Amino acid sequence: MNQSRQAAFLKNLNIYEVNLRQYTEEGTIQAFIKHLPRLRDMGVEILWMMPIHPIGIINRKGTLGSYYSVKDFCDVNPEYGTKQDFRILVEAAHALGMKIIIDWVANHAAWDNNWTVSNPDFFVQDEAGYFVSPYDWGDVIQINHSNIDQQAAMISAMQFWVRDFDIDGFRADLAHLTPLPFWRSARTAIDKMKPGLIWLAETEEPAYYDAFDINYAWKWMHLSEDFFKTGMNVSALTAFLEKQQVELPQHAFQLYFTSNHDENSWNGTEYDKYGIYTKALTVLSYTYPGSIPLIYSGQELPNIKRLEFFEKDSIAWTDKIELHSFYKTLAAFHKNNFDGGDFRFLQAQKNILAYSISNAKRGMLVFLNLDKERVAADFFNTGINGGYTNIFTCESVTIEENISVELEAGGFLLLGY
């Protein structure tokens, strides 16, 4: 893998997580396809499909079960449609210039996964020969990672989706629970089939960059949530981000988000977690160096309810997608302005988080008011003077060496040239 070439490809992309079950009343692939033009217009580059596979019945949770309890790694959940439906989805997305990555669960599977009959040794068993669940996840059983044949079968299943459906990559569920050597082997084998695949890992362990392009920014997510709930000073956020700049490997990307399927269902919507700071933190996810921004299904509405995890609970779409323009503007800016450059934080003033990025061609200034009140703040000796454009209003702005910024609580200012 040419890391610098892959980094150049990834740096301008964004990801949209698709929850097929809840996306439409029908909950099908065919119904979702109708949304593709709207999503493309919003600037979506990559569609991450939550698990598309059939869901186990034995020890199922709830009526419909967990998306992550896989019964067959080489089939499509009949509730969503057919393999041909999925093939049409991939082709339709590609025709619009979007890529498709699929969720992959390599650590566990359903109690009635087809391998439990054909290859029971693919799973961990106790002394009595019974399958074992990981942690307290009673609807799934632990895969035996020490079984070489199991590893080969898992890689073969992943290759199936690349070869027969032309998907563009994988999002690895709980990637760190599966040994890194497996992921190295999987990537080596699968990249030979289709170079330039996208590899996203649900982990924050730096070692996994050896097999993946993008890891999760979990620590940032938790810290920013704590910031909202405890009222800590913004300097704690900048200190953390500065530390990340030093610790992350070169060409490392992290997934920044205010919501996803787990957070929405189990911990609350982005408005429950971040309140008035939600949009400001979204701006950060599209502008911070090394960030790959994520939108979860329905955030553009915005969806203000927690979606059920094991039951049908459709997103209540309306004709008015209130945040479509907001995300479209950010996506366009992210795509056209991430060429690298000199990054620095401006000295934090009154809980305004501010930073700049500039190179010979482009630059940006970001101001985020993470205070609970309207704030006016002065920034001195910034070294960022010049002509800018307000990205959301298209107004021209002249920035002096010393500048004053006034923002509503949770407000933001994004300038570029």
pLDDT for the residue 339: 67
pTM (global) more than 0.95: yes
Q: Enumerate residue ranges in the chain where pLDDT < 50.
A: none
Q: Rounded to an integer, what distance in angstroms lies between the CA atom of residue 123 and that of residue 110?
A: 11
pLDDT at 2: 54
User: How is residue 47 written in tokens?
Assistant: 């569609």
Q: CA 199, CA 214: separation in Å to the nearest integer?
A: 7
Q: Please name which of 254, 219, 301 lies closest in space to residue 15, comparing C-alpha atoms.
A: 254
Rounded CA separation 92/293 (Å) = 23
Residue 338: its pLDDT value, please? 66
User: Are residues 115 and 143 in contact, defined by beta-carbon separation less than 8 angstroms?
Assistant: no
Q: Do domains 3-337 and 342-416 have the same CATH topology?
A: no
pLDDT at 347: 81
CATH 2.60.40.1180 is right for the domain spanning 342-416? yes
Alpha-carbon distance of 184 to 190, in angstroms, equals: 10
Extract the tokens encoding 29: 């692939």
Domain boundaries of the chain, sorted by first residue: 3-337, 342-416
Instruction: Please name the residue that has the structure tokens 């996964």.
Output: 113
Q: Which residues lie across from 407 on neighbouring strands? A: 375
pLDDT in tens, 263-307: 999 999 999 999 999 999 999 999 999 999 999 999 999 999 999
Contact 125, 142 (CB under 8 A): no
Instruction: In whole angstroms, give the CA distance from residue 150 to residue 31.
Output: 35
- Domain 3-337: CATH superfamily, name plus number: Glycosidases (3.20.20.80)
